[in-house]
Structure formats: structure tokens, C-alpha cells
Amino acid sequence: MRQKIVAGNWKMNLDIDSGKELLIQIIDADLNSDCLTIVAPPYIHFHNFKRMLSHTNIALAAQNCHAQESGAYTGEISVKMLKSVGVEYVILGHSERREYFNEDSLAISFKVNTVIKEGLRPIYCCGETLAERKEGEHFETISTQIKQGLFQLNEMELLNCVIAYEPVWAIGTGETASPEQAQEIHAFIRKTIAEEFGEIVANSISILYGGSVKPGNAKELFNCPDIDGGLIGGAALDVTSFTALTNSF
């Protein structure tokens, strides 16, 4: 059975004190034990959070990394550095990285390779813009992103990946893909993987939905057969909402 996951992406929010306060609330909350809970705070929190999470089942994720192991890359952070402070997962290819930092799937594939090499697990994001959906290009966009970002891996490496589908038009807008729209793309992603790696591999990979997921719509989304959880943005900053999301399966 595929792992159910709720991953909270804090983005560029919460300073040291407010971050600690939220994490304490999450640790003390009644989280669903049948669901893997992941928190992805800004880099400044990792050292403290490693200690705070050491006796919990909550996993720590980074929001990005550099493709190189080390070097003269001012302002960047390496996977080895992340690993040293307890990070287990790395979000890669988020739509905001693609849009604001001009990252494309080929560049992201090198980050995927480095994360896998260091024994961490990528959460690889894909998704179409509103214009691409209106033009009927969403399947082609998703297929290209999956193939360019992940098909350089072998089967065992791919099985260590999590995929997150995030329709760009539904991130931070209050809009949400309908369960039918989300399920259609999730099934398409699984089919795309199956055509290259086989159905056993495709059916073993957790695929998350990200795009204005809230307690009010999570249960319907998470009940779809190919949706294995959520990559959560705004709702991850509120412990009541975040807890409710883990209990939405």
C-alpha cells in the first residue's frame, strides 16, 4: 500500500520564535499515525528542529537545495548540509521556484540526482499554468516535466521519490482543482511512469496534490484512488487546519 503523506511547506514564513511555537503545537497535536507528516520550514529552523523532532514520527524537509555537493555558490545550501541537520526530504521544482527563479525540469533533474545520491528523498513538483490548461496543453506539460525531471533515474531510485501535482493556477489563489480534475492528472502521471518503468513501480509511488488544500476539501481529494495526500501551503501554518488535514484520509 502506498504511503499516505501530508507535507507542510512553510515557504518564507515564521522567524525562530514563531517557528518553534508552531512546531511544538504540531508535535503536541493529535496527528493521524497512519499518515506520514512532513514539515518543510525555512533553513534557519533546521538545527533546532532536528533536536525537537528526534523522538517523533514527523519528518523534516527542505524547500530546495543546490545540485552541486559544495563549492563557490554564495547563498546556496548543499544536500550534505541538509542531511547533517536531520533533513530527510527535499522539495524540488515547486512552481514558485520554476516561475520566480527560472528553474526548468532539466536543471531540477540534477538536483534530484544529488538528493538521491545522498540518500534523501525528493518531493518532485509538477503542474500546469492556467494558460496551458485553457489551451489543452496540460497533459503535455505534465508529461514533459515528469520525463525530464525523473526519467534519468533507475527503478529503485524512482521508488525513493514522492511526486506532487500542483496546478499553478490553484496555488495561493483560493481556487482548487476539482477532485475529478486532480484525479485525472494523478492517474495520468501514474500512467506516464508505468509506460517507462512498469505498473508495479508506478503503483508504488506516492503522488500528492498541492493547490489550496484545506480541511473543507481535503477529504474529497484524498479519497480519490490516485491521490495519496497533500503538499500543503497556507494551511500548514495553522496547527488546527494542519492536524485536520492529516486526519482527512
Q: Which residues are catalytic?
A: 94, 166
What residues have CB less than 8 Å from 144, skipping those under 6 apart? Answer: 105
Helix intervals (H) in the chain: 16-28, 46-52, 79-84, 95-100, 105-117, 130-134, 138-150, 155-158, 179-197, 199-202, 215-222, 239-246
Torsion of CA 173, 234, 122, 179, to 10 degrees: -50
CB atoms within 10 A of CB 169: 21
CB atoms within 10 A of CB 155: 12
Do the Cβ atoms of 42 and 60 come closer than 8 Å? no
Look-up: residue for cell 520566480? 100
